[in-house]
Amino acid sequence: MAYRKSSRSRLQNSELQGTGGLRSIPSARYPFPAPTKLGGDAGGMPVTARMECFSRAFVQAICARAGYQYNIPSSDFDSIDGEIEGRYGVRPSVGFQLKATSQDLVCKGNIHFSLPAKNYDDLRIDTLRPRILLVVLLPKEEEDWLHFAPNLLVMRRGAYWLSLRGKMPITTNSVTVKVPLSQPFNPDTLDAMMRKVDRREPL
């Protein structure tokens, strides 16, 4: 699991309205809450570890909203950081490799993410259970990761997924993959993905 931190830069609230982010929140009913003021390093946890914890919580919240079970394997040696399972049909299951970044990697509708060769090879093989890459985009300023109010909690910014099954092998130590912004990871797309798996259709 890799986590990348970028330099600090103010993000605009409009970023929440992207294809993979949160929908626009009507200000009259739900005023946009203030960011957290506490410094991210207050508890002594390194920033990469904070990114890992936050991205896991992000994915787990989406799974909970969609009604799917979220599991963490005892080891990620096979590049599987988590598993998502459904309790219907053939009990569909998807394994995922989780990455997070606050760098600006978006270009022409894709996230250009550098993936280590081992992760790439583990995700491209033909397995019984589908595997996907999940990339969580975080705001550049850590204080913008989480906004809260008495009646509202907002986690920013968005997650996107990509299937690498059947991709060609590489001979380099890493490869840049393009994760489409048209493939957001949210409760609706997660359910659609799992229904395809239940029908034994490729992702």
The CA-based diameter of the chain, rounded to the nearest angstrom, is: 55
Domains with residue ranges and CATH for the chain: 3-198 (3.40.1350.10)
Cα separation, 179 vs 111, in Å, equals: 5
List Cβ neighbours of 126 (8 Å cut-off, separation of 6 or more): 165, 166
* H-state helical runs in 6-162: 47-66, 117-124
Question: Tens digit of pLDDT per residue, the chain (203 long)?
Answer: 555 555 443 333 334 334 344 444 444 455 556 665 666 566 788 888 999 999 999 999 999 999 999 999 988 889 999 999 999 999 999 999 999 999 999 999 999 999 999 999 999 999 999 999 999 999 998 888 988 888 888 899 999 999 999 999 999 999 999 999 999 999 999 999 999 999 999 99
Q: What is the pTM of this model?
A: 0.81
Measured from the Cβ of residue 148, the count of other Cβ atoms closer than 10 Å reads 13
